[in-house]
Amino acid sequence: MTSFDTSPQLSIWRALLALAVVFVMLATTGWTALRTHRESSALAASLAEWRHGHLHGLRLPDPDAAPTRLARFFGSLTPGDRDRLARRYPLAVGNMNGAPVSLRYRANHLALDQARKTERARMHDSRLSTAGQQDAGRRMHRYESLLSDGRQILAFDPEGSGRIAEVFGDLGAARRISVVVPGVDTDLLTFQRTSRPYSAPVGMAKALYAAERAARPSTRTAVIAWADYTSPDGLGVDAATGLRAEEGAVRLNALLRALPGRAPVSMFCHSYGSVLCGVAARGMPRRVADLAVAASPGMRAASAADLGTTARVWAMRDASDWVRDVPYLELGGLGHGADPVSSGFGARVLSARDAEGHSGYFQPGTDSLRNLAEVGVGAYGEVTCAREDDACRSGLSGTPTAQRA
């Protein structure tokens, strides 16, 4: 079995060295390295129009109202009225928690088509530099791909580097729902990759969806590739703090509270995505049954119990993953806390010996993907633990002891 322990002295020196590097970065670059994502001008405009809009002479509800309130509003409309609102306010409706998911898909299709036309025009805009025109071309082609038949875009924001979420499967009819939360350098252009596809959110979600169906064909599942937050740009100061995680946690929990039905939800959080999930854990709805992290630099918690969630907490890390060498501590806002695969953290540690590095956890054929899929469909007795003495299968009928404390 793979061992995750290193000598205390070596761990201390690694931590001190990493902190020294971070402090040098802070001294030389300051906090200006933090990448910001101002609210989309297009999205803000669509929301403003909604707030001043009417339907049959009646004011539209506050777009920030509770999802249940918005669901009742949309449920009271005719199909024609719902379609009319999607066409008038595509970005607002496409990102509105509480709107029917099928309506959000249609609204985002309209918003993507508008964005595609905008980027096509920018490709030939003489005021732009050659690099600017090339960037417009890349974005246009990405929008064309997202407009392909059958794609179900649950959220879309074209501003800046972009935010997006996509659904695989029938979300409304699912008996189990999985949400994949990716890490650094995730945006519209990296949402899907031709090279190394299973290191990108779309490939991760597709692989998990296929593995879940193979694990339990009789269970209807749906998987969400959730990149609807502004991730850190690279492995600089931004990735060493919790700022992006805190911002993303608000958006993630808003989505989770608005998911249709009552199916249990399993979270699968990779790399910095596990930081975000750790921050969000306390505010997650109780239908979140599992919180699984892979390649985690920490969850900004000292233990699973400190996460404040009733969900089962799972963790995995491949022995060749460079993240094992990050300093698992938090000091002055830098670092993300304890190592989730350490014995003292209290997570259920799953095998990931086939993962091969930091980005290989969702690679088809690996034990890591199979284990994640078994968690996703609730087949807890079928998982492979990382250590023979690991109690990762114990007490699965209830909440793990470490998380009840």
Please check whether residue 156 is in contact with residue 91, taking contact to mean a CB–CB distance below 8 angstroms: yes
The values of phi and psi at residue 210, to 5°, are -65, -40
Average pLDDT of 75-99? 98
Mean of all residue pLDDT scores within the chain: 89
Q: Do you know the residue count of the chain?
A: 405
Type and span of the H or E element at 24: helix 8-29
Torsion of CA 323, 329, 333, 335, to 10 degrees: 0
3-state secondary structure of 321: coil
The values of phi and psi at residue 68, to 5°, are -65, -40
User: What is the per-residue pLDDT across 356-382, written as a single tens digit (0 to 9) for each?
Assistant: 899 999 999 999 999 999 999 999 999
* Residue of 402 and 119 predicted with greater confidence: 119
User: What is the per-residue pLDDT across 292-329, written as a single tens digit (0 to 9) for each?
Assistant: 999 999 999 999 999 999 999 999 999 999 999 998 98
CA–CA–CA angle 122, 125, 127 (5° rounding)? 120
Tell me: pLDDT of 156 over 60. Answer: yes
Please check whether residue 207 is in contact with residue 201, taking contact to mean a CB–CB distance below 8 angstroms: no
The values of phi and psi at residue 326, to 5°, are -75, 155
Positive or negative: CA dihedral 288, 290, 293, 298: positive
Average pLDDT of 76-100? 98
Among candidate residues 3, 19, 14, 9, the one with its CA nearest the CA of residue 341: 3
Tokens matching residue 114:
């508008």
Q: Report the distance separating Cα 306 and Cα 167, nearest Å.
A: 31
The values of phi and psi at residue 120, to 5°, are -65, -40
The pLDDT score that the predictor gives to residue 242 is 84
Q: What is the DSSP letter of 384?
A: -
The pLDDT score that the predictor gives to residue 392 is 79
Q: Report the distance separating Cα 275 and Cα 336, nearest Å.
A: 7
For residue 161, how far is the Cα from the chain centroid?
Answer: 16
Question: For residue 3, what pLDDT band results from cuts at 50, 70 and 90?
Answer: very low
The values of phi and psi at residue 6, to 5°, are -125, 165
Q: Report the distance separating Cα 301 and Cα 403, nearest Å.
A: 12
The pLDDT score that the predictor gives to residue 235 is 73
Tell me: pLDDT of 4 over 50. Answer: no
Least confident of 20-24, 31-35, 159-163, 286-290: 31-35
Q: Report the distance separating Cα 123 and Cα 395, nearest Å.
A: 58
Least confident of 10-24, 234-248, 311-325, 331-345: 10-24
Question: For residue 200, what pLDDT band results from cuts at 50, 70 and 90?
Answer: very high
Return all residues near 142 (Cβ < 8 A) that are at least 6 apart.
Answer: 188, 189, 191, 192
The pLDDT score that the predictor gives to residue 311 is 97
Tokens matching residue 132:
């600017």
Per cent of the chain over pLDDT 90 is: 79
* Residue of 237 and 252 predicted with greater confidence: 252
Least confident of 138-152, 236-250, 379-393: 379-393
Average pLDDT of 328-344? 89
User: Which residue type is seen at 19?
Assistant: L
The pLDDT score that the predictor gives to residue 234 is 79
- CB burial of 201-239 (b: ≥16 within 10 Å; e: otherwise) equals bbbbbbbbbebbbebbeebbbbbbbbbbbbbbbebbbbb
Tokens matching residue 59:
């004011």
Tokens matching residue 179:
């949400």
The pLDDT score that the predictor gives to residue 14 is 52
Note the helical H segments in 63-100: 67-75, 79-88, 90-94
User: What is the per-residue pLDDT across 36-74, written as a single tens digit (0 to 9) for each?
Assistant: 444 458 999 999 999 999 999 999 999 999 999 999 999
User: What is the per-residue pLDDT across 245-259, written as a single tens digit (0 to 9) for each?
Assistant: 999 999 999 999 999
Task: Please report how the helices 101-123 and 130-146 are oriented relative to each other, as an axis angle in degrees rounded to 10.
Answer: 150
Average pLDDT of 212-219? 97
The pLDDT score that the predictor gives to residue 20 is 45
Tell me: pLDDT of 2 over 50. Answer: no
Tell me: pLDDT of 86 over 50. Answer: yes
The pLDDT score that the predictor gives to residue 335 is 83
User: What is the per-residue pLDDT across 273-284, written as a single tens digit (0 to 9) for each?
Assistant: 999 999 999 999
- The β-bridge relationship of strands 221-227 and 163-169 is antiparallel
